[in-house]
Each structure stands twice: as structure tokens, then as C-alpha cells.
């Protein structure tokens, strides 16, 4: 492992970043060194520019991929190697914001009903019912479920930031039904096949794909879309954006406001202040 990758790995672990984040950053470093034959710790500004252009023009990399490389290089040079001049003036790639098509509540219910195994159903219902990321739901522990307070404690959120989300009556009943059927032992609420591990992210994604296919729902539904659906359906029901921001664990309100644009029916139901101004009393 090169010096830059080693230092980056140590830095991210000290920050408490998720293992998947660590792997993504290190993969970007590895790709740079493999393609350029230049140790990242020795790279100059033009080396980074040439590599990014190579990705864009030769490999036809899309903006999200380029942004991942940019985030990696900025982390390495600005924070780890203390060489911010390397990244100075290199722009982030522009992106076209593509809004997802949100499944209806009926479609989501059909997918849940098509999940054949109790743990698979409980995983999917919990992800939607609490607006959790896939990594957050698989790493839940029984102690995180506070039935008395009606809360779920998300202790391993993005960026190692804990938060609390609601534990509704329906979700609590789903979890109790799962507990009676499975009786999980050990540390994790959703244990994996290997002792001491939790159910995998890939296994959860496969469980959802199988349930979608069995349900007959033709819309593409993936794990993060359940989280989008949770937020969008809350917004449609009148929940304010600040509350949704806290439930999702977004660092800024700007990230949460994207849900204002996903469904136009929320906009159509909003009364203009001009109508109120001229409203007859």
C-alpha cells in the first residue's frame, strides 16, 4: 500500500468513517496510481488534471464518478498530505440533478407483502418506516429499539453522526412479529450467516430485488429509493422540512429541499399568498 493510501486509511478510520466510504476512497487512489504509475503522494496538480480529463474523455466517466475522485483527491491533498495547492482551482464537475420516480404507498405495500422471509420483510419495512440508509438498517442492534419511548436510536449514521427516528406502532408490530418468528441471538437485530456479523448490504439489496419482482410492481425500486419515498410521503402528509431533515440526518436543509421537487401534487395543493390577499372575507 502506498504512503498516501496508508495515511488516508488511518485518517478516515480516526474520523470514524464507514467501511464502505473507506473502500471507495482507497479504490480511487488505487485507480489513479494504476493508470498513471505515479505515487499519489508525489502527484502534482497537472497529474490530477490529466487523470480527470482521461476519465472524462477516454473512459467516458459520468459526473458522479468524477465527483467521487474529486472528493478523494481533496481529502488526500487538503487534509491528509497538507498540500492544498495541488487541488487549487480544479473545478467540481457539473451534474444534472435527476429526480427519482417515487413509488406509491400501494406499490411499497405490495413489495413488502411479497417478501417471503420474515427477516427480509422486517429489513425492508424498517428501512422505509424509519427512513434509514441500508447501512444503518443492517447495523441496528436490539438495544437500539426503544419501544417505550417510540424511538429508534441510529448509532451508526452517515459520518458517524447518531440520531433518533420515530418508531411507529406499525413498525413496532412488524419488528415484534419478526422477533417471534426468528428469535435472533447475538449483537445484531438482523444477524448474518457468519456468527458475529450482521446481514449484508448486498443481501438486503437482493432481498428487495426479489420482492419487487415477486410483487409485479413494474417500477424500479432500490433500497435508497425507500428512503426517498419515506421523505416524500411525509412531505405530502404535511410534515415540515426541518423535521424531515432531522429524521433523515441531513447536515443541511438544502439537501432535504430536493423533496419539494419530486412530487408536483404537493406544489399544486399549495395556496398562493396572492389568493389569500384577495380572498373575500
Q: For 262-274, write each residue's pLDDT tens digit.
A: 554 555 555 556 5
Question: Would you give the end-to-end CA distance of the chain in angstroms?
Answer: 74
Is CATH 3.30.2130.10 correct for 3-86? no
Q: Are 3-86 and 105-267 equal in CATH topology?
A: no
Residues with catalytic roles: 133, 158, 224, 227, 250, 259
Question: Hey, what CATH class is 105-267 in?
Answer: mainly alpha
pLDDT in tens, 189-230: 999 989 899 999 999 999 999 999 999 999 999 999 999 999
- Kindly give the residue spans of alpha helices, DSSP state H, lying in 131-251: 134-138, 169-182, 201-215, 223-236, 241-248
Instruction: With a cut of 70, say whether residue 128 has pLDDT above it.
Output: yes
Domain ranges for the chain, please list them.
3-86, 105-267
Instruction: With a cut of 90, say whether residue 255 has pLDDT above it.
Output: no
Instruction: With a cut of 80, say whether residue 61 has pLDDT above it.
Output: yes
Predicted model pTM: 0.68
Query: How confident is the model over 52-59, as a mean pLDDT?
Result: 90
pLDDT of residue 260: 64
Instruction: With a cut of 70, say whether residue 275 has pLDDT above it.
Output: no
pLDDT of residue 266: 52
Amino acid at each position: 500500500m502506498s504512503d498516501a493510501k496508508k495515511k488516508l486509511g488511518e485518517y478516515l478510520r480516526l474520523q470514524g468513517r464507514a467501511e464502505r466510504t473507506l473502500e471507495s476512497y482507497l479504490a480511487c487512489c488505487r485507480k489513479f496510481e494504476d493508470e498513471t504509475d505515479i505515487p499519489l503522494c508525489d502527484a502534482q496538480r497537472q497529474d490530477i488534471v490529466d487523470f480527470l480529463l482521461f476519465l472524462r474523455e477516454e473512459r467516458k466517466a459520468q459526473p458522479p464518478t468524477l465527483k467521487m475522485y474529486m472528493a478523494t483527491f481533496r481529502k488526500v491533498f487538503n487534509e491528509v498530505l497538507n498540500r492544498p495547492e495541488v487541488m487549487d482551482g480544479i473545478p467540481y464537475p457539473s451534474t444534472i440533478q435527476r429526480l427519482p420516480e417515487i413509488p406509491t404507498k400501494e406499490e411499497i405495500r405490495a413489495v413488502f407483502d411479497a417478501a417471503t422471509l420474515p427477516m427480509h420483510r422486517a429489513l425492508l419495512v424498517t428501512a422505509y418506516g424509519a427512513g434509514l440508509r441500508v447501512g444503518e438498517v443492517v447495523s441496528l442492534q436490539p438495544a437500539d429499539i426503544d419501544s417505550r419511548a417510540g424511538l429508534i436510536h441510529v448509532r451508526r449514521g452517515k459520518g458517524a453522526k447518531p440520531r433518533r427516528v420515530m418508531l411507529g406502532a406499525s413498525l413496532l408490530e412488524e419488528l415484534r412479529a419478526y422477533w417471534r418468528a426468528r428469535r435472533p441471538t447475538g449483537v445484531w437485530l438482523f444477524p448474518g450467516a457468519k456468527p458475529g456479523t450482521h446481514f449484508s448490504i448486498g443481501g438486503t439489496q437482493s432481498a428487495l430485488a426479489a420482492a419487487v419482482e415477486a410483487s409485479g410492481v413494474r417500477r424500479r425500486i432500490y433500497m435508497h429509493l425507500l428512503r426517498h419515498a419515506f421523505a416524500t410521503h411525509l412531505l405530502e402528509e404535511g410534515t415540515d422540512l426541518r423535521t424531515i431533515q432531522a429524521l433523515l440526518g441531513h447536515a443541511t436543509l438544502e439537501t432535504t429541499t430536493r423533496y419539494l421537487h419530486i412530487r408536483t401534487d404537493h406544489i399544486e395543493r399549495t395556496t398562493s399568498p396572492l389568493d389569500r390577499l384577495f380572498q373575500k372575507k
